[in-house]
Amino acid sequence: MSVPRSEYPRPQFARPDWLCLNGEWQFEIDQGDSGLERGLRDRDLSGTITVPFCPESALSGVHNRDFLNVVWYRREVEIPSSWQGRKVLLHFQAVDYDATVWVNSQEVGRHRGGFTPFSCDLSGIAGGGDTITIVVRARDNHQPPQPRGKQTQDFNPSGVFYPRTTGIWQTVWLEPVPDYALRRTRITPDLANSRFCLEQPLTRTHPGLRLRARLLDGAGVVSTAVCRADADFAPRLDLPIPDERRVTWSPDSPHLYDLEISLVDADGQVIDELKSYAGLRSITIDGKAVRLNGNTIFQRLALDQGYYPDGIMTAPTDEALVRDIKLSMDAGFNGARLHQKVFEERFLYHADRLGYLVWGEFGDWGCNTEGSSDNHQRPTASYITEWLEALERDYSHPAIIGWCPLNETAQAIGDRFTDLDVVTRGMFLATKAMDQTRPVLDASGYSHRVLETDVYDSHDYTQDPDKFRERHAGLANGMPYINAGRTGNPPRKQPWSQPYRGQPYFVSEFGGIWWNPAAKEGEDSWGYGERPRSVEEFYDRFERLASVLLDDPDMFGYCYTQLTDVYQEQNGIYTFERGVKFDMNRIARIQRRQAAIEKVDSGSR
């Protein structure tokens, strides 16, 4: 039986030795959270599941859509004997939400956060040649203050909310590493000085260690660098690029350099080594323009929520990730907002390869602290912790051109500080502290609470193109459309956003045009506004709405809702099964029409 999702999960920080643990695991639901007292940690479990698919999904083999408050996993694994003499790390790419891990009945790790990876060091417990029993318990009550994206708190999906994801939903794997090892490399492209700056943290150090790096392209070695690795927590070195080997990364030419990084001892022996890659590009703000490599490129983004009929938040195959990007590009989009979940790293790898612009986002829809129901989430410090983990994982991917920690925060700005004020500013500052190379949008949509946010935006699902044009005519005079809240009506007493201060501006959600002519009376099917009466009416509305933004010289981009239908929300360019709904050449021509290309995209070529 083939192992599902068996591709390497961390392609920008790759070591040669690893073991994928996806496949069949023992599994049991523990609704009362009494499993530890009942001995579930130390006995066989009653069922089975296919990892890495969540138990709510069909691909898991469990397909239980009820509220699964606690679930347990168990698997026996033989560690390769060739790994003797090295530490063994047990990696989880994502477990939703509170995970505790035991190996041979000893706790080896715990982690809070459903979107980000964590690792367990098995030193002193097991090594090469040993057989181990791994047990995982995941608690997931789907209630505030847990960030959960679009996972519904109701039994059935409805509105903009979809089925829940519980437990393991990304790859589980083992990896051997030496005692003195390389940690995740931070790769910063410096286009102005034609170089890459590397920051290479280490697990530990001792006298005589050196760091060695090589930059390569298709013609061979571009440059090399060596530095001491025994004097700093994170040694730094630069890899210069001669003019004749200098190729920038862009959507038109997504050139990637290869990287080889080695940790060498005083005798010249390689202790640890990894392979990576990097793209040479810059992102800058010039007035209202966001520039890539000094050139203006209009960001034609699709809202991509990354849901699948059979895997829910987990793509059924690696090829499915590639297909989503190519489908989007076929429709004329050049990027996406990766919406309401932290996408798996394989998606970013393919975006890097294919030249697909993406905004990194967290899964925290509708945060407020005013006690509203309606699936709102309640912000706490744990949001900042998990967001920092996402930033650390994804910092070096060239396809990411901006960050957006929060989405549609749903609370007016009052006289007193609230947790939402503190968390919004905390996530903004955390992003700026982790990354000085990309713009940060404090919160997409309704409530810009941070005065110095790099980018300003709005969500506007107005379906009348004339009204849409009227709403956005004020940007030229420094008076853009600003959402007043989900109803679109101005609040009577308190503002939702700090004033606009001339930042780059885009409509980061619009459209959402409902189109499913096969929907039957009474079927749960919806989109924004009145459903077009014909496909020609859809094309006309799509073109007129998009043209308002394409024609605006002060608009740096847009994001159309959405790439695919998602369950009952049937306003995608494609069906949920990735079937074709429209003439994609026609959709692409609308977005890439010659006037728009001449105005905004010519500089990227």
Average pLDDT over residues 292-307: 97
Please determine, for residue 492, whether its predicted confidence score (pLDDT) is greater than 50: no
Can you name the CATH fold of 293-604? Answer: TIM Barrel (3.20.20)
Mean pLDDT of the chain: 93
CA–CA distance, 435 with 429 (Å, rounded to integer): 10
The overall pTM is greater than 0.75? yes
- Pair 584, 331: CB distance under 8 Å: yes
- pLDDT tens figures, 558-591: 999 999 999 999 999 999 999 999 999 999 999 9
Q: Are strands 87-92 and 118-121 parallel, antiparallel or unpaired?
A: antiparallel
Cα–Cα–Cα angle for 350, 351, 356, nearest 5°?
150
- Pair 277, 399: CB distance under 8 Å: no
Query: Which candidate, 505, 511, 496, places its Cα nearest to that of 462?
Result: 511
- pLDDT tens figures, 264-279: 999 999 999 999 999 9
Cα–Cα–Cα angle for 275, 436, 404, nearest 5°?
90
Residues in the chain, total = 605
Q: Are strands 555-561 and 299-304 parallel, antiparallel or unpaired?
A: parallel
CA–CA distance, 97 with 142 (Å, rounded to integer): 9
Burial class (CB in 10 A: 0-12, 13-18, 19+), 156: exposed
Query: Which candidate, 165, 443, 167, places its Cα nearest to that of 306?
Result: 165
CA dist 138 → 223, 318, 515 (Å): 46, 25, 38
- Pair 217, 258: CB distance under 8 Å: yes
Query: Which candidate, 293, 408, 433, places its Cα nearest to that of 340?
Result: 408
Average pLDDT over residues 181-195: 97
CA–CA distance, 453 with 431 (Å, rounded to integer): 11
pLDDT at 604: 35
Please determine, for residue 320, whether its predicted confidence score (pLDDT) is greater than 50: yes
- Pair 342, 87: CB distance under 8 Å: no
Burial class (CB in 10 A: 0-12, 13-18, 19+), 436: exposed
Highest mean pLDDT of the ranges 130-139, 149-158, 379-388: 130-139
Q: Is 312 left (phi over 0), alpha (psi -120 to 50) or beta?
A: left
- pLDDT tens figures, 376-415: 788 888 899 999 999 999 999 999 999 999 999 988 888 8
Close Cβ partners of 459 (under 8 Å, ≥ 6 residues apart): 408, 444, 445, 446, 483, 507, 508, 509, 510
* Domain ranges within the chain, ordered by starting residue: 19-177, 192-278, 293-604
| Bond prior to 498 in cis (omega within 30° of 0) | no
Average pLDDT over residues 312-329: 98
More confident call, 601 vs 294: 294
375-414 residues labelled b (16+ CB within 10 A) or e (exposed): bbbbbbeebbebbbbbbbbbbbbbbbbbbbbbbbbbbbbe
CATH level 2 (architecture), domain 192-278? Sandwich (2.60)
pLDDT at 371: 58
CATH 2.60.120.260 fits 19-177, yes or no: yes
Angle between helix 381-394 and helix 345-354 axes, rounded to 10 deg:
40
